[in-house]
Amino acid sequence: MGKKITIAIDGFSSTGKSTIAKLVAKKYNFIYVDTGAMYRAVALFAMEHNFIGEDFIDKAGLITKLKDITLSFHFNKEAGFAEMFLNQRNIEKEIRTLEVSQYVSRIATISEVRRKLVSEQQEMGKLGGIVMDGRDIGTVVFPEADLKLFMTASADKRATRRYKELIEKGDNVSYEDILFNVQERDRIDSTREDSPLVMADDAIEFDNSDMGITAQFNQICVLIDAIIL
Ligand code: DC
């Protein structure tokens, strides 16, 4: 087996980062960490404790309760990936709703939240052999990553993909709401003061608007093989 490297995958919402990351982790036997799930878990906690709602956010209240949040991933053999747990509760399904998507970007602007999650992510990746996806992995979490990928696609393509996923799950959502959410998250994620979504100087950009998963995966494997073999 080759070297246990660190791979950072960043990019906009719904660009297929996690699909690629899971495939890479499986092929190379690396650990996959979905950092978006961690921000979603904190958003769910904030919703459940009334720290965020449609027209308010109680940042100070949430910050004092951050110490009560324990996040962990547990591998689900059947699903083939690790599911997100919040204080020992499996929340994998709950964090994928449009409602959580609508609050999560605002939660992710809070520096105290970022500091807590970034340090946990650095701990998980300290031995290498890791594929992590998010918004700030190549810039903040692992600036020394061996390989940095930056995924983009048109907002329409991304909203269409996300819409299909949610409809297949049986969620009652409209395409317009999804498109608005994707664009709104791009805006908040790219303009926040702390660790905004930007491409690292040494990242390789993939625009997958018109590219299938297999083609992308094959190109990425060539890049990885060149590093580990
Ligand atoms: O990858 P995702 O769509 O599940 O991420 C949800 C939100 O979490 C995203 O809109 C911004 C935030 N996020 C972040 O700020 N930094 C990360 N490393 C990952 C996600």
List, in order of start, the domains of the chain with CATH numbers. 6-228 (3.40.50.300)
- Per-residue pLDDT band for 229 (boundaries 50, 70, 90) equals confident
- Per-residue pLDDT band for 192 (boundaries 50, 70, 90) equals very high
- Per-residue pLDDT band for 226 (boundaries 50, 70, 90) equals very high
Which residue's alpha carbon is nearest to atom 18 within ligand 1? 134
- What would the mean pLDDT of 159-181 be, rounded to a whole number? 94
Q: Assess whether the C-beta atom of 134 lies below 6 angstroms from ligand 1.
A: yes
pLDDT digits over 121-139, tens only? 999 999 999 999 999 999 9
Residue 23, SS3? helix
| H or E element that contains 111 | helix 111-124
- Counting DSSP H helices and E strands in the chain, the numbers are 8, 10
- What pTM was computed for the model? 0.95
CA distance 215 to 150: 16
Looking at the chain, the whole-number percentage of residues with pLDDT higher than 70 is 100
Residue 65, SS3? helix
Q: State residue 79's pLDDT score.
A: 87
Task: Give the dihedral sign, CA 92/96/101/103.
Answer: negative
CA distance 59 to 190: 20
Query: Would the pLDDT of 60 be above 80?
Result: yes
Residue pair 110/190 in contact by the 8 Å Cβ criterion:
no
Q: State residue 19's pLDDT score.
A: 92
R_g of the chain computed on alpha carbons? 17
Q: Assess whether the C-beta atom of 40 lies below 6 angstroms from ligand 1.
A: yes
Query: Would the pLDDT of 198 be above 80?
Result: yes
The CA 122 to ligand 1 mean position distance, Å, reads: 16
pLDDT digits over 35-47, tens only? 999 999 999 999 9
Q: State residue 84's pLDDT score.
A: 98
Atom of ligand 1 at shortest range from CA of 37 = 4
Atom of ligand 1 at shortest range from CA of 104 = 7
Neighbours of 143 (CB within 10 A): 13
At a CB cut-off of 8 Å and minimum separation 6, what does 216 contact? 16, 20, 206, 208
Query: Would the pLDDT of 1 be above 70?
Result: no
At a CB cut-off of 8 Å and minimum separation 6, what does 57 contact? 46, 51, 106
